């Protein structure tokens, strides 16, 4: 065990580096070796007051520009590297596009002028070039016209040139101690101090990008190193920060306006660097009011109603970003986030545990609550008696109390040591100490530690999500009033940079746009067809029930107090509910008993031997769910349905079991209802009624980096496909993604092995229907704008290869659509404080001016403010019109068989999400991941491969 007096920062003697001119730093040194220091002029880079013109002697020529260069920049100044990354642009709009009357001459047929490069292995012929399609018309017209407000505001900003620099802190040197051993985060905190305290025309993204309205003297495209004095937060000695700066390029907000006004531009051409710069500016000028956390979030320093006993506090705030739409606009939204409470560590833990803190049996749970937190100790003193602070990371708790934990070298307890060394009388000597070194036994009493603010909470995700929903779920009217508060504070901001950029929001009222409420689809249950209610409908007798009498069993696991009564209630009520739905359950269950988790595998095997088709599990607080799904889905092939014990306590138990029957019938091969318009192909142009369409959904979920046994986790991808003409029955293939061997934390969004997945799904489709689909509609979830080109290039090519390779000459029409939910666009009805109606669609003003995209709110808003889904068509050779694709997408949201509601995005994408998350359950507590996989695919039992096991 180390002595506390020996616990201090590790110092390395400073190395003398001869001064050299900036021009002498070669690019080779920049890549692999430490750069040489510039001549001793500590205040050159950031501390110099800006002067007009080139008084500092720098060259007047501009540095290499990004692709979307500022007018007047010579082509030679664009670097070859940036030219190679240039994305293809679409052709001008077609002549009949009413909104594009002012287009310039171009390709009259509306085809793309350049295509995204195809892989050499692709043998697909007669394909459209892989470039983003343009909106095929002037927007949709179908449905009831309405007007809605959107949380966007017209935004004006001047095109003043901005110089961009890569800035990286290297080290901090103490006058007495030499180089301090600091984390990257701590190094950057010193760099922020330098930037905050100096130039008035620079702003910083908190990472490696520094922006300046005037050139930094002595800094060019070669890395230059500077040193500046920084204050010691612990007031121990004089400190000097050494940091590197490299000039990258110049840019301007005018590039965003050029993009918006460019008729041939598409989403892939968004000037991301310019957008990032403006967003950084917005955060920088509000930092005196808000705490900047993350890429765009701004939080109020004071938390909302806190729950310290639950180890989290919730801060409210805003997201603020510029969006290139039909115009350049500012998108503002509210946001809430949970953080671990700041303050004295002992007091925080006492709020949760109270007097049980002193019980050793709770110490491991307490350690789990605080592991990884950053804490600060302020009891230290210099030889001269001056106090200072140190920061640490928590690595658990001691096994003994402060009174009993011994320091071997001194033969005294921790309590005695702190009294002798710091003259401190511990208030809680019977509490454990906190371990503050990962690989050394160094402990500090928890009452002497302060938790630093704005750290992620360690509370359970379910608790936090529930609390955030409670705080954030406000109706649209209240939400927009809160946004008006932010706009007031922002427009009253007198920051100098806002004046330099001439930032202006000309209209304080939110943007009003034209919207439409799409018509409702027709549902077909067992009886005659009828229009489905807007957003929800009452369940009726199923269209097609499970095809045979179902033998079943009920288990309660693990045995809990009310388990026997719950089993009795299910056995009594479920057959009657099933009969009302049209499902034939056997008269009584084969088994109806509690079961220990240790005997689950045995019960599965016995049930399979007895011919049981359905196993129902009543779970106490969800315990055992992962193991049950692993045994059922992968090993035995038995259909399982789990019900939480809490659900059994709900008042209307009959309705609960009716909702459960929706899942059971789907898992057993039945169809709960049909959407007539989808079954009869009414939305496709020139498609015969009997021709078949396949709808696909895809999603990638990223798992925690480590499993229960310490093994690294890989991402999981799931692809679903419809296998019936009514687009109600789906199958899923779930696979584990490969991980870059060199970067363990890297996650890939592109789905690997897509060609093999699609080929296998086509086989299932053909086996079921004796023919192949004439069209494939592919909905892709979880892709950001920056990944569009890569995902389109790789996955679309794989789909096309799968079709042409598996079946010679087979080239179905393919539409590739990205579904985005992680955005901050919200709607509010003009004349109501409630949410917009389900089926509200917007395809003007807030969309791309020429691209094929739209926002659709397909769900009923039950709590808070509804979030619309954003659909972007990246490829289409099915000649969709706006009306047809919007209605088709909306109607697909009515085919989700788990509930009698239209959901927030199409059922195939929702199913892919469920299948990917089912894989997460399979992996929980799995002893061997490899045993669950074959060629990186999860080995779903053959009995369930062609069924909707994921419902």
393 by Cβ neighbours in 10 Å (0-12 / 13-18 / 19+) ranks as middle
pLDDT at position 741, please?
Answer: 42
**pLDDT at position 504:** 95
How confident is the prediction for the chain on average, in pLDDT? 84
**Helix 653-667 and helix 563-581: axis angle, to 10°?**
70
Q: What is the model's pLDDT at position 616?
A: 98
How is residue 294 written in tokens? 């993350």
pLDDT at residue 566, as a whole number: 94
- For 42-68, the pLDDT digits (tens) are 444 454 433 334 433 334 333 333 333
Q: What is the pLDDT of residue 705?
A: 60
Residues 231, 235, 239, 243: what is their CA dihedral angle, to the nearest 10 degrees? -50
* C-alpha span between 473 and 865 (Å, rounded): 7
- The residue among 868, 882, 872, 869 whose CA lies nearest residue 817 is 872
| Cα angle, residue 481 at apex, residues 479 and 482 outer, rounded to 5° | 65
| CA–CA gap between residue 625 and residue 950 (Å, rounded) | 13
Least trusted range by pLDDT, from 520-534, 573-587, 708-722, 931-945: 708-722
Tokens matching residue 724: 């019936």
580-603: pLDDT as tens digits = 999 999 989 999 999 999 999 999
- Band (129; pLDDT cuts 50, 70, 90): low
Q: What is the pLDDT of residue 193?
A: 86
Higher-confidence residue of 547 and 157: namely 157
Of the two residues 73 and 728, the one the predictor is more confident about is 728
Predicted confidence (pLDDT) at residue 358 exceeds the cutoff of 90: yes
Q: How confident is the model at residue 256 (pLDDT cuts 50, 70, 90)?
A: very high
| Bridge pairing between strands 674-675 and 730-736 | unpaired
Assess whether pLDDT exceeds 60 at residue 534. yes
Which residues make beta-bridge pairs with 512?
149
* DSSP output for 81-123: HHHHTPPP-PPPPPTT-GGGTTPPS--TT---SS-PPPPTT--
Domains and their CATH numbers in the chain? 1-38+162-251 (no CATH), 252-341+456-509 (no CATH), 343-452 (2.170.260.10), 545-667 (3.40.50.2300), 676-938 (3.30.420.10)
Cα–Cα distance for residue pair 175/479, rounded to 1 Å: 52
Inter-residue contact 112 to 106 (CB < 8 Å): no
- In sequence order, the 6+-apart residues with CB closer than 8 A to the CB of 70 are 62, 159, 161, 250, 251, 252, 254, 255
Q: Which helix (H) or strand (E) holds 814?
A: strand 813-820
At residue 703, the pLDDT reads: 78
Lowest average pLDDT, out of 40-44, 154-158, 641-645, 724-728, goes to: 40-44
* Terminal-residue alpha carbon distance, the chain: 54
Contact 226, 45 (CB under 8 A): yes
Residue-level pLDDT at 46: 53
Confidence of residue 116 (pLDDT cuts 50, 70, 90): very low
> What would the mean pLDDT of 513-542 be, rounded to a whole number?
93
Question: Partners of 413 in the beta sheet?
Answer: 406
Residue 83 has pLDDT above 70, yes or no: no
Residue among 515, 508, 484, 513 nearest 153 (CA): 508
552, 614 Cβ separation under 8 angstroms: yes
pTM for this model (two decimals): 0.83
Q: Phi/psi at 491 (nearest 5 deg)?
A: -70, -20
Q: What is the mean pLDDT of residues 180-191?
A: 86
Is 898 a residue whose pLDDT tops 50? yes
Which pLDDT value is given to residue 127? 53
Is residue 858 within a helix (H) or strand (E), and if so which, with residue range? Answer: none
What pLDDT does residue 48 have? Answer: 43
205/99: higher pLDDT: 205
User: Tens of pLDDT along 407-416?
Assistant: 877 888 999 9
pLDDT for residue 65: 38
**Tokens linked to 417:** 């040591």
pLDDT of residue 258: 95
Q: What does DSSP say about strands 343-344 and 328-340: parallel, antiparallel, or unpaired?
A: unpaired
Query: DSSP secondary-structure letter at 307?
Result: B
pLDDT over 60 at 394, yes or no: yes
- Enumerate long-range contacts of 60-66, CB under 8 Å, 24 or more apart: 62/161, 62/250, 63/163, 63/221, 63/247, 63/248, 63/249, 63/250, 64/221, 64/249, 65/249, 65/250, 65/251, 66/249, 66/251, 66/255, 66/271, 66/273, 66/274
Lowest mean pLDDT among 256-265, 291-300, 912-921: 291-300
Find the mean pLDDT for residues 313-336. 94
The mean per-residue pLDDT over the stretch 891-902 comes to 97
Percent of the chain with pLDDT over 90: 62
- For residues 206 and 195, give the distance between their C-alpha atoms in angstroms, rounded to a whole number: 10
- pLDDT-derived band at 687 (thresholds 50, 70, 90) equals low
Pick from 763, 766, 698, 700: nearest CA to 732: 698
Nearest to 816 by CA among 799, 836, 840, 829: 799
User: Which of the two residues, 452 and 686, has the higher pLDDT score?
Assistant: 452
Reported as a single tens digit per residue, the pLDDT across 712-765 is 578 899 999 999 999 999 999 999 998 654 443 334 789 999 999 999 999 999
Q: What is the pLDDT of residue 482?
A: 93
Q: Do residues 432 and 363 make contact, with C-beta atoms less than 8 angstroms apart?
A: yes
CB atoms within 10 A of CB 246: 19
Q: What is the model's pLDDT at position 92?
A: 36
Nearest Cα residue to 9 out of 170, 169, 168, 174: 174
Most confident option among 65-69, 123-127, 810-814? 810-814
């Amino acid at each position: 065990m180390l002595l506390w007096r020996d616990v201090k920062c590790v110092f390395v003697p400073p190395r003398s580096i001869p001064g050299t001119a900036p021009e002498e730093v070669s690019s080779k040194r920049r890549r692999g070796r430490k750069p040489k220091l510039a001549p001793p002029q500590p205040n050159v880079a950031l501390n110099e007051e800006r002067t007009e013109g080139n008084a500092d002697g720098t060259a007047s020529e501009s540095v290499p520009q990004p692709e979307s260069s500022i007018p007047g920049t010579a082509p030679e100044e664009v670097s070859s590297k940036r030219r190679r990354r240039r994305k293809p642009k679409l052709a001008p709009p077609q002549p009949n596009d009413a909104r594009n009357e002012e287009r310039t001459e171009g390709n009259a047929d509306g085809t793309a002028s350049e295509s995204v490069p195809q892989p050499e292995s692709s043998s697909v012929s007669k394909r459209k070039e892989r470039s983003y399609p343009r909106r095929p018309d002037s927007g949709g017209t179908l449905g009831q016209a309405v007007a809605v407000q959107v949380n966007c505001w017209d935004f004006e900003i001047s095109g003043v040139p901005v110089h961009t620099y890569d800035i990286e802190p290297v080290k901090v040197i103490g006058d007495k101690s030499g180089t301090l051993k600091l984390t990257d985060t701590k190094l950057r905190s010193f760099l922020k101090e330098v930037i905050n305290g100096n130039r008035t025309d620079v702003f910083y993204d908190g990472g490696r990008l520094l922006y300046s309205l005037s050139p930094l003297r002595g800094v060019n495209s070669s890395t230059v190193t500077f040193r500046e004095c920084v204050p010691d937060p612990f007031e121990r000695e004089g400190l000097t920060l050494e940091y590197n700066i490299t000039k990258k390029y110049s840019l301007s907000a005018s590039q965003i306006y050029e993009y918006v006004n460019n008729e041939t531009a598409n989403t892939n051409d968004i000037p991301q660097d310019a957008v990032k710069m403006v967003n950084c500016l917005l955060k920088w000028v509000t930092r005196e009011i808000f705490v900047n956390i993350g890429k765009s979030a701004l939080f109020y320093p004071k938390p909302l109603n806190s729950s310290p006993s639950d180890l989290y506090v919730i801060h409210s705030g805003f997201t603020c970003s510029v969006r290139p739409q039909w115009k350049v606009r500012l998108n503002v939204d509210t946001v809430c986030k949970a953080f671990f409470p700041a303050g004295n560590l002992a007091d925080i833990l006492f709020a949760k545990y109270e007097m049980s803190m002193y019980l050793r049996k709770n110490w491991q749970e307490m350690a789990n609550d605080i592991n990884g937190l950053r804490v600060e100790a302020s009891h230290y003193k210099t030889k001269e008696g001056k106090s200072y602070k140190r920061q640490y990371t928590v690595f658990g708790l001691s096994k003994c109390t402060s009174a009993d934990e011994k320091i071997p070298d001194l033969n005294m307890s921790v309590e005695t040591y702190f009294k002798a060394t710091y003259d401190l009388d511990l208030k809680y000597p019977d509490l454990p100490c906190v371990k503050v070194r990962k690989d050394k036994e160094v402990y500090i009493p928890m009452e002497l530690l302060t938790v630093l603010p704005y750290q992620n909470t360690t509370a359970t995700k379910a608790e936090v999500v529930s609390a955030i929903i409670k705080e954030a779920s406000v109706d649209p009217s209240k939400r927009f009033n809160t946004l008006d508060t932010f706009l007031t504070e922002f427009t009253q901001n007198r920051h100098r940079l806002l004046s330099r950029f001439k930032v202006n929001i000309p209209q304080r009222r939110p943007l009003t746009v034209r919207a439409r409420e799409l018509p409702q689809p027709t549902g077909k249950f067992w009886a005659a067809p009828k229009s489905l209610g807007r957003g929800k409908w009452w369940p009726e007798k199923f269209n097609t029930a499970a095809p045979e009498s179902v033998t079943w069993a009920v288990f309660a696991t693990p045995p809990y107090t009310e388990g026997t009564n719950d089993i009795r209630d299910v056995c009594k009520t479920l057959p009657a509910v099933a009969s009302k739905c049209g499902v034939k359950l056997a008269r009584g269950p084969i088994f109806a008993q509690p079961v220990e988790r240790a005997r689950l595998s045995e019960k599965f095997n016995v049930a399979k031997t007895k011919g049981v088709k359905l196993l129902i599990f009543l779970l106490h607080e969800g315990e055992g769910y992962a193991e049950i799904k692993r045994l059922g889905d992968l090993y035995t092939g038995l259909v399982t349905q789990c019900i939480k014990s809490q659900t059994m306590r709900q008042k209307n138990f009959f309705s609960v079991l009716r909702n459960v029957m929706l899942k059971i019938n789907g898992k057993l091969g039945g169809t709960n209802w049909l959407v007539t318009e989808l079954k009869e192909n009414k939305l496709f142009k020139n498609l015969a009624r009997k021709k078949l369409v396949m709808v696909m959904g895809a999603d990638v979920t990223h798992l925690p980096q480590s499993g229960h046994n310490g093994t690294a986790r890989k991402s999981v991808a799931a692809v679903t496909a419809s296998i019936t003409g009514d687009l109600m029955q789906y199958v899923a293939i779930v696979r584990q993604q490969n991980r870059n061997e060199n970067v363990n934390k890297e996650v890939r969004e592109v789905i690997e092995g897509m060609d093999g997945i699609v080929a296998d799904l086509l086989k299932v489709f053909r086996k079921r229907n004796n023919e192949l689909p004439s069209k494939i509609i592919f909905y892709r979830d979880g892709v950001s704008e920056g990944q569009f080109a890569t995902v389109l290039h790789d996955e679309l090519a794989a789909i096309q290869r799968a079709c042409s390779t598996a079946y010679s000459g087979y080239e179905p029409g393919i539409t590739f659509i990205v579904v985005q939910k992680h955005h901050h666009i919200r709607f509010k009805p003009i004349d109501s404080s409630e949410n917009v109606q389900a089926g509200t669609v917007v395809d003007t003003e807030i969309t791309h001016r020429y691209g094929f995209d739209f926002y659709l709110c397909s769900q009923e808003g039950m709590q808070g403010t509804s979030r619309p889904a954003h659909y972007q068509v990246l490829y289409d050779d099915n000649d969709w019109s706006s009306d047809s694709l919007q209605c088709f997408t909306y109607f697909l949201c009515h085919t989700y068989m788990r509930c009698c509601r239209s959901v927030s995005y199409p059922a195939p994408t929702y199913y892919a999400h469920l299948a990917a998350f089912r894989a997460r359950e399979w992996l929980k507590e799995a002893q061997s991941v490899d045993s669950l996989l074959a060629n990186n695919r999860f080995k779903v039992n053959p009995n369930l491969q062609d069924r909707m096991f994921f419902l």
